[in-house]
Amino acid sequence: MNTDSISNIGDVVLDGPLGARLDAMIRNHVAATDVDYITAPFLAKTETNGWWQTEFWGKWMHSAAPFLAYRNDPALLAKVRRGVARMISSQEPGGYIGNYPDALRCGEGWDVWGIKYTLMGLLHYHDLAKRLEAAAPNNAADAACAAAAPTAADALAAACRLCDWLIAELGPGGRRGRALWETGNWCGYASSSVLEPVVWLHRRTGERRFFDFASAIVEGLSKPESGPRLVDLALDGVSVADRNGHGNVAETGGAYVMKHNRWKAYEMMSCYQGMLDYAETAEAEGLPAAVAPETLRAAAIASARDIAAEEINLAGGCASSEAWFHGARKQHLAYTRLQETCVTTTWMRLCEKLLDVTDDPFWADELERTFHNAYLAAMKADGSEFAGYTPLSGSRWHGQHHCFMHTDCCNANGPRGFLAYLRKFFVAHGDVATVNFYASARVKAALGDGRAVEFDCYSLYPRAESARLVCRTAGEFALRLRIPAHCTSAAVTLNGAAVPGDAAPGAYHTIRRAWNPGDVVEIAFAMPVVAHVHAHHAAFTRGPVLLSRDSRFGDGDLAEPFRPDSLADGQDCSALFAPAAPPSDDFLACYAASLPLGAHSENPDGALPSTVFFCDYASAGDTWRRGDHYRTWFPIEFRPDENG
Ligand SMILES: [Zn+2]
């Protein structure tokens, strides 16, 4: 299934605490967005700073359209339609939609980047409108509203005209006399990420000129010496953090240089996402690709594997000041502006795409860890807002105001992240249905022969160590259960009897049989608390969840060190942690831990373990009050004969 599609949205409906958070986010964030405000810049066209006011509408549409497919909301639908009408009305006769004056278009700023999101917004509306047009309106009022709204064809035509304008400006032999990768920031990443919706446009129109433009973008991403070089550097094994500088020569000396720099996490991953879509389309349609599809895939996978190994921390987050920095090995230290929500969301989208492309549950493990930690931590408890940055230790707080607007890139991007999790929750291919994630939900998917399979899922995973799936479908098919790599073992039963075969962590466990409604599959996950010891610091995880101390427990100095040699890396600490009742409803999970903390172990009483409390990282500090703070990495004392 193409990950640009909204076709299976609504087939998975979350219940329980996670469903409540999703509903709150749709209600308080997506549906509460002021569409006139985010479309006003397109009508005013007054941009002179080279900024990115034109990304907000497209990002919003990229979540609003799927969430309209998830939850029927007439008020949100009316807003979406009004926004699209305003966008189309802002289109110039030549096709341009944006807010830059002609002299500044396709230049150093974020104009092409904005066009990328406008194309995405129009194409998502196209898919939504097509779905609604195929369904009969419920009543006369709906029919009247639909009749006044832009049609799917209107949105597609506007997207084609905008892309044609871009081709005329920056395509081969274009009016601007420069290649697309030479515009914008970050060595061409930002502008080149328009590749993704250009491929989507080709898929929806079948027009060869859009595929050819995509090929030109892929050329720019892979071949020029001073360009992004997303293929050769990846296949040569150059870590994403080491690809810096013009011509791959570091020139920044630590400065935040925007033009010739390959370290920007969000934009780089966005380009790989587009390359994967391009490779998929070239292969499926037998079209001549600028670079062989298997080479593009290999480069994207090598880079994503490098990100997982070198950059992703225990919260599944990454990047400092939005840049790659070998962050996995530095996660115990205080780096600036950690885990930008845009990076978190884009990593989840890339993992979703890679799971689709490779069928390797490794990417589901990565997506799950990021979702339950960095992502949910960035979302305010009521879903109304996303943080710009989310440190591993510190406090939670609002993002910036960008481009003189009362929003920012992260607030606009946040809701898209939830979709990556939702779309891959339960999927089907051929005669195999796959459960990738565990939560309380009603799920259905269509097998290759069109049969629908449905299950009811009950689980408080990752707080709980079990999941229960009740079949609602009769017939023969295979059910694949993803056994998370985050657990040490799993036991699977069917109607109370053990299922033969090894349910190995990090793999799919398959049950193929003739199913009956009411069949019950139960999975028990073993998820010990594990210590992580790195560079004289310690942290703890349980299953996919990073544990955190929180000042709301009032249990002393959060930075209190552990005694020397008191913990080993990988140590099973389950005996030291016991589940505890949370002090308030705003914690998902709490534990009382008896740990070798403190600097007074020479005293007989001081040598005893201290009882302190932990919660899941996503719950830590989520009051967004500056006085509440939390910590995930804890110092370990040095002995006098050690060098600090
Ligand atoms: Zn951002």
Read off the pLDDT of residues 266-293 as tens digits, 9 standing for 90 and up.
Answer: 999 999 999 999 999 999 999 999 999 9
- How confident is the model at residue 249, as a pLDDT? 47
Q: Is the pLDDT of residue 250 over 70?
A: no
Q: pLDDT tier at 258 (50, 70, 90 boundaries)?
A: low
* Predicted pLDDT at 367: 98
**Residue 47 gets which letter from DSSP?**
-
Helices assigned H by DSSP within 90-135 = 111-134
8-53 pLDDT, tens per residue?
888 999 999 999 999 999 999 999 999 999 999 999 999 999 999 9
- Asked if residue 255 has pLDDT above 90, the reply is no
pLDDT at 245: 55
Compute, in angstroms, the gap from residue 137 CA to the centroid of ligand 1: 38
Could you say which DSSP state residue 288 is in? P
Confidence band for 257, pLDDT divided at 50, 70 and 90: low
Domain residue ranges in the chain: 1-30+312-424, 35-152, 179-310, 432-526, 529-635
Mean pLDDT for the stretch of residues 368-378: 98
Q: Is 206 left (phi over 0), alpha (psi -120 to 50) or beta?
A: left
pLDDT of residue 369 exceeding 60: yes
- 396-429 pLDDT, tens per residue? 999 988 888 988 999 999 999 999 999 999 999 9
Residue 246 clears pLDDT 50, i.e. is over it: no
* Residue of 359 and 2 predicted with greater confidence: 359
Confidence of residue 501 (pLDDT cuts 50, 70, 90): confident
% of the chain beyond a pLDDT of 70? 97
> How many Å lie between the centroid of ligand 1 and the Cα of residue 381?
19
Which residues have CB atoms below 5 A from the ion given as ligand 1?
340, 342, 409-410
* pLDDT recorded at residue 146: 82
**What CATH topology corresponds to 432-526?**
Immunoglobulin-like (2.60.40)
Average pLDDT over residues 162-168: 98
Q: Tell me, in angstroms, the distance from the centre of ligand 1 to residue 62's CA.
A: 15
Distance 400 CA to ligand 1 centre (A): 9
Q: At residue 528, does pLDDT exceed 70?
A: yes
Instruction: Report residue 147 as tokens.
Output: 């009749």
The whole-number average pLDDT for the span 168-186 is 95
- Is 573 a residue whose pLDDT tops 70? yes
pLDDT value for 589: 96
Q: How do residues 186-196 score in pLDDT, each as one tens digit?
A: 889 999 999 99
Q: State in Å: Cα 69 to ligand 1 middle.
A: 25
State the distance from the centre of ligand 1 to the C-alpha of 116, rounded, in angstroms.
Answer: 16
The rounded Å distance from CA 315 to ligand 1 centre is 18
**Ligand 1 centroid to residue 367 C-alpha, Å:** 18
User: How close is the Cα of 130 to the center of ligand 1, in Å?
Assistant: 31
Say whether 301 sits in a helix, a strand or coil: helix
Residue 1 has pLDDT above 70, yes or no: no
Task: Tell me the CA–centroid distance for residue 388 and ligand 1, in Å.
Answer: 6
Residue 131 has pLDDT above 50, yes or no: yes
Q: What is the mean pLDDT of residues 367-374?
A: 98
Instruction: Judge whether 504 and 512 are in contact, CB under 8 Å.
Output: no
Pair type for strands 432-435 and 475-483 = parallel
Give mean pLDDT, residues 509-528.
98
User: Per-residue confidence at 493, pLDDT binned at 50, 70, 90?
Assistant: very high
**Residue 247, pLDDT score:** 44
pLDDT in tens, 602-620: 888 888 999 999 999 999 9
pLDDT at residue 445 greater than cutoff 60: yes
Average pLDDT, the chain: 94
* Stretch 584-607: mean pLDDT: 90
Given the structure tokens 């985050």, which residue do they identify? Answer: 486
- 45 or 251, which is more confident? 45
Would you place residue 248 in the very low, low, confident or very high pLDDT band (cuts 50, 70, 90)? very low
Alpha carbon of 323 to ligand 1 centroid (Å): 12
Instruction: State the distance from the centre of ligand 1 to the C-alpha of 19, rounded, in angstroms.
Output: 25
- Conformation bin of residue 536: beta by default, left when phi > 0, alpha when psi is -120 to 50: left
φ, ψ at 577 (rounded to 5°): -115, 135
Check pLDDT > 50 for residue 390. yes
pLDDT of residue 154 exceeding 90, the answer is yes
Query: How much distance in Å is there from the Cα of 195 to the middle of ligand 1?
Result: 20
User: What's the CA-to-centroid distance between 460 and ligand 1, angstroms?
Assistant: 30
Q: Quickly list DSSP for 385-442.
A: -B-S---SSB-----PPPTTSS--HHHHHHHHHHHHHHHTSEEEETTEEEE---SSEE
- Say if residue 3's pLDDT is above 70: no
Q: How many Å lie between the centroid of ligand 1 and the Cα of residue 340?
A: 6
